Amino acid sequence: MEESAVNGGMMAFWIIFGIACYIYLAICLQAIAKKTNTPNGWLAWIPIANIYLMCMIAGKAWWWLLLCLIPYVNIIFLVILWWKISEARGKPGWWGLLFIVPVVNLVIIGIIAFSD
């Protein structure tokens, strides 16, 4: 009985943590869209449409969205997208590489979104 309660608590924690991360990322992406004068920043809140918004901010064609949906290949293309998004915000492009590092990626997106 105790083990199932612990498992249920852990599951609830990870669900809440995941939702909080999604909200944070959507707020950051919407702020980046606003600061780069990209239309339809509200797309940051819609799954898959937020990748399309990233393509628009990065100046890439819409079909990059399809490449971002392929497992393992998506890592490379998302790094390239974040590289271009960083440059669009006037930050070093190599920050895009930091998006594959857990926790650091959350800090970097906040810096890109909310710095001047």
pTM: 0.89
- What domain range includes position 108? 2-114
Instruction: Give the pLDDT confidence score for residue 78 in this predicted structure.
Output: 94
Contact 33, 44 (CB under 8 A): yes
Which pLDDT tens digit goes with each residue over 39-59?
Answer: 999 999 999 999 999 999 999
Which residue from 33, 47, 1 is spatially nearest to 109, judged by alpha carbons?
A: 33
Residue ranges in the chain whose pLDDT is less than 70: 1
In 3D space, the residue among 112, 111, 79, 108 whose CA is nearest the CA of residue 96 turns out to be 79
Q: What is the pLDDT of residue 51?
A: 96
Within a 10 A sphere around the Cβ of 9, how many other Cβ atoms?
Answer: 10
State how many domains the chain has. Answer: 1
User: What is the amino acid identity at position 65?
Assistant: L
Helical packing angle, 104-114 and 2-35, nearest 10°: 30
| CA atoms of 85 and 51, how far apart (whole Å) | 12
